[in-house]
Amino acid sequence: MGIDLKDKIIAAATNVLLREGLQGWSVDLVAAEAGCAKGLVHYHHGSKKELLGRVAGQLARDRVARRMAALSESGSEALDGLWNALEGEVRSGAWAAWAALTAEPGIVGPTEAPTEISAFGAAVGRALDLPALSPDDARLANSALDGFQFALARGAPGEAVHEAYHRLWLALLP
């Protein structure tokens, strides 16, 4: 059995967002990408805002999964994998899509669930053979990662951003 239409529409909406950006995104383009009628997009996902909220949720889950996968390694491999994940999101447009959705009122709710922050802090601790990061340090590190992506997306020299990335980890180490 293949992917159901509801999930196909979310995948199509994500693809359109990555390709066209939020300003070029439309339900018509999503329907065409999904190969269905526009009415079916609305039937399965309600309003444009609701669908974009679901896309934002999927992008958020994907971001968390990539970060946690990188941190399943240890030592410098984990930090290098995490950096590669950050760069990959910027190159693919996933970061820009996420940033655009977070800037739109009413689409994205709170982005740092306490359980996700705790899991991130624990994963950093395991990867670096340290105690888990405190919730405040985990939130700081996670926010800094978003800041590094913002800098890369805005055209900051990659080497300088990468240096700042390494300095973050040095500052967080005991």
pLDDT at position 90? 97
DSSP string, 136-159: HHHHHHHHHHHHHHHHHHTT--HH
- CA dist 1 and 119 (Å) reads 33
Q: Which residue has the tokens 């999503």?
A: 30
User: pTM surpassing 0.75?
Assistant: yes
Nearest to 85 by CA among 54, 30, 127, 55: 127
Predicted local distance difference test score (pLDDT) of residue 114:
75
Tokens of 174: 């005991």
Q: Give the separation between CA 53 and CA 47, rounded to whole angstroms.
A: 10
Residue 128 has pLDDT above 80, yes or no: yes
pLDDT tier at 112 (50, 70, 90 boundaries)? low
* Residue located via tokens 């018509």: 28
Return the amino acid letter for 3.
Answer: I
Element of type H or E holding 170? helix 158-172
Per-residue pLDDT for 113 more than 90? no
pLDDT at 3: 73
Angle between helices 5-24 and 48-70 (to 10 degrees): 100
| Res. 40 pLDDT band, cuts 50 70 90 | very high
